Structure 1
């Protein structure tokens, strides 16, 4: 990883798993890292671990509840008011296969947290990203995006909800969003790259924290016998965040069988995820739900 001294990275969901490892390794290379966590207690413990391991590292913690778009707006407004350019935004946090639920604004939980909150956070932080030379947005998706479709007719999951189906939907939304963001950034000539990553099958607490019963047992067995460790999985988003030569629009994932394990490489998303018509439809829906528009943000930055 190139030296990251002088850069500011914002990492969502940095209290555990891939987010924690991302924050720690960026800090190890000299970046100032703003960790976010919904649970302040867990966040403080993660912060203390990094400070113990890396004395002198510039790491900070702020609470951020991605299930509340008002909290996302307040978090971003505080950063914008402080004015420090953001070099890296790592859209890492996520929930996986919980029972049906709604965010504070009434959006299905997985779509709301995994996609819509990061959509809103990214757009709100564009002024700070555009002020940093070589800034990047890394959106973390999953190989399971290949099983997804966008349920435009039932986006809240009120008619028919399946944990896996709506998780896959949120991960497909991540890919559609990041690639459409790349198109819009280039069209607006904004100096920010949008890159995707997925960790393959990596053993973290995400697989078991919200699941229950037989599904939790299956995930535990998979984590033990099929998954690569989180330290290997995190290399994909670190590569997306820091590797030289990326131009925006790349998808970084493991190079092994079915992209489950291996070294970081450029991988190809589900063909439907590259459809600009589908992406534009999701973008319009996301703007409506979040109350934001990209053109007004882009014009403000010129």
Structure 2
């Protein structure tokens, strides 16, 4: 039970502007609340404005002076991502933190984004890839720290290079693993390209372990009508302090990776507990699927081709 008291200290962030995807509930809401308490100005890109407004009300109860902007963003639509980029460009202010946290996991049947990509690959990876491209000038202006939230699922499975959209066969969990491997390769390649081209951005990875959030809960938008067995087991374990973390502790790796002066670019941060499933944040050995620079370069090229966006 002592694990529930685990926390980190976040340095003052006054004057910093943070963009956090998936910040209206679950782990993301814990992340943005902590950033607000540290003084960061928040931009919440959201698909559900009403849900976001409720989240902002809760944040302001804890951080009354917080500055929070809600903007529409649907990561499963490249048009929506481009519009968000245009909204941010019109505002013109630098972005100092980008935490790519939003995601979707194992819909009950194969589904596609508005652009025809397999939903998990399209949302978890391609949507964030396009988002970073559109925000690049603002990220460069802010010498931003970029943290991309992957998953322990990136330590299993593989990229289905012959069929990245799983059109010929479909396995929800394998497709989810692919989306997180691809996303991790992106985060590491972003760091390498920033160093090579002088973008001034630093990029690293985090993962939350496991915790009871909405990711595996009933979600009408993906056709899941009831909570999965997995999330019920996670809730049971989390309540009893057994291996699993809580939404609060699960938020810590991304917070540490994106704000700590000790967090290093190009590294992976996650819980330090048993199996790296719960506990306080710490650097972890990079998953084997993420170590190939050739795979990262190949996925970058595939992503540019599929999304139609590019980096300079």
TM-score range (shorter-chain normalised) is: over 0.9
Partner of 2:185: 176
Post-superposition offset of 1:213: 8.1
Deviation at 1:285, TM superposition (A): 0.4
The residue aligned with 1:21 is 30
Is the CA contact 1:254–1:261 (under 8 Å) kept in the aligned structure 2? Answer: yes
* Mapping for residues 79-228 of structure 1, pairs under 5 Å: 79-98=88-107, 99-133=109-143, 135-210=144-219, 212=224, 216-225=228-237, 226-228=243-245
1:62 aligns with 2:66: no
* Contact 1:4–1:31 under 8 Å retained in 2: yes
Helix, strand or coil at the partner of 2:217: helix
C-alpha distance in 1 between matches for 2:199 and 2:169: 40
* TM-superposed deviation, 1:101: 0.6
Q: Distance in 1 between matches of 2:181 and 2:89?
A: 29
The CA distance in 1 between the partners of 2:201 and 2:99, in whole Å, is 13
Tell me the equivalent position of 1:299: none
Q: Which moved more, 1:53-62 or 1:174-183?
A: 53-62
CA contact (8 A) 1:146 1:269 kept: no
Deviations 1:175-194 (A, max 9, x none): 11111111111001221100
Determine if contact 2:216/2:227 at 8 Å carries over to the other structure. Answer: no
Change (3 A) 1:202 1:251: same
Count of equivalent residues: 294
**Partner-residue secondary structure (3-state), 1:265:** strand
Q: How does 1:24-39 map to 2 (within 5 A)?
A: 24-39=33-48
How does the TM-score come out when normalised to structure 1? 0.94
With normalisation by structure 2, the TM-score equals 0.91
Shift of 1:142: 0.4
Instruction: Tell me the distance in 2 between the aligned counterparts of 1:103 and 1:178.
Output: 22
Partner of 1:73: 82
Please state how far the C-alpha of 1:104 moved relative to its aligned partner: 0.6
1:265-280 matched pairs, under 5 angstroms: 265-280=282-297
* Deviation string, structure 1 residues 209-262 (Cα, Å, up to 9, x no partner): 348589812321223215211101101000011000334101110112211112
**Which range moved further: 169-178 or 212-221?**
212-221
Q: Report the 3-state secondary structure (helix = DSSP H, G, I; strand = E; otherwise coil) of the residue aligned with 1:19.
A: helix
Question: Corresponding residue for 1:253?
Answer: 270
Contact 2:257/2:264, CA 8 A, preserved across alignment: no
Distance in structure 1 (CA, Å) of the matches to 2:142 and 2:245:
34
CA distance in 2, matches of 1:130, 1:204: 33
Out of 262, 266, 282, the position equivalent to 2:279 is: 262
State which drifts further: 199-208 or 107-116: 199-208
Match of 1:44 among 50, 53, 67: 53
After superposition, the CA RMSD in angstroms is: 1.5
